[in-house]
Structure 1
Amino acid sequence: MRVLNKVIVVTGAGGGIGREITCQLLEKGARVAAILNKSGLEEIQTLSNVYGNKISTHIANLTRREEVERLPEEIISIHGSVDGIINNAGIIQPFVNVNELDFERIKLVMDVNFYGTLYMCKAFLPHLLKRPEAHITNISSMGGFIPVPGQSVYGASKAAVKLLTEGLHSEFKDTKVGVTVVLLGGVNTNIVQNSGAEIGIEISENQKRMLLSAERAAKLIIKGMENNKCRVIAGKDSKLMDFFYRINPIKATDLLAKKLKLQE
């Protein structure tokens, strides 16, 4: 689905990849409903000064179903329709083992990453199914197909997003609603700070340069939507680990764990 003149809803639009997705969609001629949870409002406001009524901002806590369910009517009242959603909002967990992670944080990670995505899909699907063409893009992670030490709950949430999205793709393959899952590798954003997570690993400037930029990640995400890709693997690390994991899951898992241990 080409994004020109389409109305696209973007969650987590206040910063990082979400803000880049929003910027690039606007540059390509789309109208954007930017969903954020208060933080990032000032940055989004600067886009409103440039693009005027082509962008609207909406404050919503994605972990609260009632707040998500009011969004379609609110957005349609402004833009007239909704043609696509990009579920980008997500948080990671502190870099600790499951036995050291409290249930409050476990619930928060699952609520934001999985239930937030599910609520958005459920809220907007009735409207998307009425459009001549429409699209859902859900952002999963490399951690959704290969375990990352210290990120087991985050990985579980992203694995749930991955399987949910693949299920939606199967369920709607004979409709005009396309569905894409994005398996992101490492991206140079502030997700660690924004999630309130301690990384416990020193990342050098050289390693940071090896990470996918938010600009590049956004470009790949939008390209996947426009080309109606079922699956987008974004980042060299994600592509490499996907290849190894298909050949030998145990060795791939051990290799990743060893690499992370050497960086501690």
Structure 2
Amino acid sequence: MQIAGRVFVVTGAGNGMGRQVALGLLRRGATVAAVDLDEQGLAATAELAGGGARMSTHVVDVTDATAVAALPGEVRNVHNQIDGLVNIAGVIHRFAPFTDLSAAEADRVMAINFTGTVHMCRTFLPVLLERPEANLTNMSSLSALLPFASQTLYSASKGAVKQFSEGLYAELSDTNVHVVTVFPGNVATNLTGNSGVEMLDAGGRQAPSTTAEAAAARIVDGITKDRFRVLVGTDARVLDILSRISAKRTTRFVGKQIKSVL
């Protein structure tokens, strides 16, 4: 899909990969409506963008269906059109076995990661279908391809996003809307802090990670090339291959690594 001259709505744009995707789209000539619940984070993103009319900011909770329903009108009032939606907003839960997690923790991660994505897609798809060419990009996770012990409900929420997003790909394959699903591995962002949880103490061991800037560049490239799946990071690519060879052994191996630092 052509990026220059198009208008993209990007959720989670107040920090991390969402911020970098918004900035990356701007660098390629797009106009961006940056969406996040964090007003200060959005202000920082706008400052990094250097101001100007090609970025607007919108403080919206993606779990609030009413607020989401009002968003297309707000964006079109500013930018006249909407050509793409990039759903990146998401959280993890605390690192703990499923039996230790409360119902409230489970509900929160599913509401933001999955239901929030569904809200955005339900609201924006009719708008995107009106355009000559449009893009819908959803953020899943490596954990949707290979479940992570102590992040079982997060993995489930991202697995739901995968199935939903790739189902939309099938449904929309003969339309003007290109659907891209993103599967990042370990990306160097403040996801734990933004999710309100503590990071695991790895005891000095460093897991391979991808910078948010590099991850965003790969995502924007995926949008440009209308990729079906975008795997982000060497860890994502390697573990995806290993899980195809032996899902059981790879799941047990990763589980042991995580349990060793719990």
Corresponding residue number in structure 2 for 1:190: 190
CA–CA distance in 2 between the matches of 1:114 and 1:102? 18
SS in 2 for 1:56: strand
Provide the rounded CA distance (Å) in 2 between the counterparts of 1:171 and 1:131: 17
Question: Counterpart of 2:256?
Answer: 258
Contact residue 143 and residue 159 of structure 1 kept, 8 A: yes
What is the CA distance between 1:201 and its match in structure 2? 2.8
Query: CA 1:64–1:153 in 2, change beyond 3 Å: closer, same or farther?
Result: same
Deviation at 1:199, TM superposition (A): 2.8
How much has 1:123 moved relative to structure 2? 0.4
CA distance in 1: counterparts of 2:221 and 2:43, whole angstroms: 27
- Residue of structure 2 equivalent to 1:166: 166
Q: Distance in 1 between matches of 2:100 and 2:111?
A: 19
> Taking every aligned residue pair, what percent have the same amino acid on both sides?
39
State the AA in 2 paired with 1:214. Answer: A
Mapped to 1, the partners of 2:132 and 2:104 lie a distance apart of 42
- Tell me the residue number matched to 2:36: 36
Return the alpha-carbon distance in structure 2 between the equivalents of residues 70 and 225 of structure 1.
25
Q: State the Cα distance separating 1:263 from its structure 2 match.
A: 4.2
Aligned runs of 1:83-232 on 2, under 5 Å? 83-202=83-202, 204=204, 207=206, 210-232=208-230
RMSD: 1.3
CA distance in 2, matches of 1:139, 1:38: 19
CA distance in 2, matches of 1:231, 1:244: 17
Distance 1:109 1:157 in 2: 7
Which of 232, 235, 238 does residue 233 from structure 2 map onto? Answer: 235
Deviation at 1:262, TM superposition (A): 3.7
Contact residue 5 and residue 31 of structure 1 kept, 8 A: yes
In structure 2, distance between residues paired with 1:127 and 1:6: 14
Contact (CA 8 Å) 1:47, 1:55: kept in 2 or not?
Answer: no
Amino acid at match of 1:124: F
8 Å CA contact 1:26–1:51 kept in 2: the answer is: no
Cα distance between partner residues in 2 of 1:161 and 1:213? 23
Q: CA deviation at 1:203?
A: 6.2
Alpha carbons 1:109, 1:153 under 8 Å: kept: yes
Separation of aligned partners in 1, 2:14 and 2:203: 24
**SS class of match (2:135):** strand
Secondary structure of the structure 2 residue equivalent to 1:13: coil
Which amino acid in 1 is paired with 2:47?
T
Give 5+ residue unaligned stretches, structure 1.
Answer: none
Structure 1 residues 33-54: Cα deviation after superposition (integer angstroms, max 9, x where no partner)? 0001024033023146x24110
Equivalent residues of 1:83, 1:133 under 8 A apart: yes
- The DSSP-based 3-state class of the residue aligned with 1:70 is helix
Deviations 1:151-178 (A, max 9, x none): 0000000000000010000000001100
Rounded Cα–Cα distance in structure 1 between residues aligned with 2:126 and 2:48 = 29
With the length of structure 1 as denominator, give the TM-score of the two structures: 0.95
- For 1:47 and 1:32, how far apart are their aligned partners in 2? 13
1-structure distance, mates of 2:97, 2:89: 23
- What's the CA shift for 1:251? 0.3
User: In the comparison of the two structures, how many residue pairs are matched?
Assistant: 261
Give me the TM-score of the superposition, normalised by structure 2.
0.96
Describe the shift of the 1:14–1:235 C-alpha distance in structure 2 as closer, same or farther (beyond 3 A).
same
| Counterpart contact for 2:11–2:35, Cα < 8 Å | yes
**Structure 1 consecutive aligned stretches of length 4 or more whose deviation exceeds 6 Å:** none
